[in-house]
Structure 1
Amino acid sequence: MLFPSPLVPARLVRRYKRFLADCRLDDGEEVTAHVANSGSMLGLATPGSRVYLAPSSDPKRKLAWSWQLVEVDGALVGIDTGLSNRIVAEAIAGGRIRALAGYDRLRREVPYGERSRVDMLLEGDGRPPCYVEVKSVTLSRRPGLAEFPDAVTARGAKHLAELAAVVRGGARAVLLYLVQRGDCHSFELAADIDPTYAAAAGAARAAGVERLVVHADVMPAGIEIRSDF
């Protein structure tokens, strides 16, 4: 996935109200950027960090900037969780996720469960439908180790129970963790942050929900899935 226009470097002044960040451009101008990330962004919002912003010329937008990347110890991290589904969908279409290859159709935001929408539904003649839920992974508290979640997520636990239900109904279900940072080579659930989610993930795997971890190369030009862990 390529960014539609070149990102603009800046320094983070502060993140606040979850979805707002004040940043200082290299020319000294201070701007407010939208933060498309509802998590805690633990370890990613240190004032003074090098960040990369996407500009917008859309007059209907309230904010002209969106925070896309942050540099942590020399590695870039993609913080815009709103892009996760697009990154994964492009990788599936390009055949870069072997475990999800061979389906003829991909539909997005399909209703299922109890007033939920699955991120992607893969369908193909002669095979069960595959429900894919995507989680963006940005947390790393130990060198090389990516973790999820970075905050308590009741919604995430609900999705796990609903994926287990579709498996019991004869479909395939995959919980895909997209690691949006280039300095990690392994993955674990952050059970100390959200033990309820970790327990729900274990129950879902026991019920047949597959866990798939994929790694993305994060670059100023774009974010692209490179390989499965």
Structure 2
Amino acid sequence: MTMPEAALQGLHSDNPSVRLRATMAVGTNPDKKFVGELIERCAVEPEFSVREMLTWALTRHPPSETVPRLVAELGSQRTQARSQALHTLSKIGDRRAFPAITETLLADADEEVARSAWRAAVALVPPGAEPALARVLATQLGRGARETQLSLSRALIALGEAMMPVLEAAMRHSDPGVRRHALATEQLSRDPEAGFEFAIGEATRIVALGPA
């Protein structure tokens, strides 16, 4: 059995250590015939460390081979396929993929997919498109638990000054959860060392006090 054939077989082993080694071998010796297998494995791989290695292996291949196939995965019915494709696109860094990160993906019902979409959009946004992206991201303020809210806050903060108009509008929103998240994001942008829990605590106190 040749090394490529052994690696392909290893990708489907029941042993995660074997899958990890096989993926590393593919990434070390990139060949475009592996791309489809790597992407398909991303959609079903249960082990985080192996998924990260799959992403690394894909980044070792030419974007011309990987990006179109990853973009196609964004329409998959499988949540992990969408999430992992977004994650891998963010690591490849080819801004030609940005238009494929639609408002639907940015508001995906699955929180892991949505979070992956936020990170990918911020990583790939072309110069000048930051304000429009900030407006879409702001529609998700108040969503989810702390981990999800922190992910969104980080994405907005990464957009720099483009986030300020939407945060200022969100601070006057009728929904107290949206106001609290917007206030916490603004606080975190000014004082990242304070941490998100402190920022949320301060925002909760301010919202509870109501209008001055």
TM-score range, shorter chain: under 0.3
TM-score by length of 1: 0.26
Higher strand residue share: 1
> Max radius of gyration: which structure?
2
Higher helix residue share: 2
TM-score by length of 2: 0.27
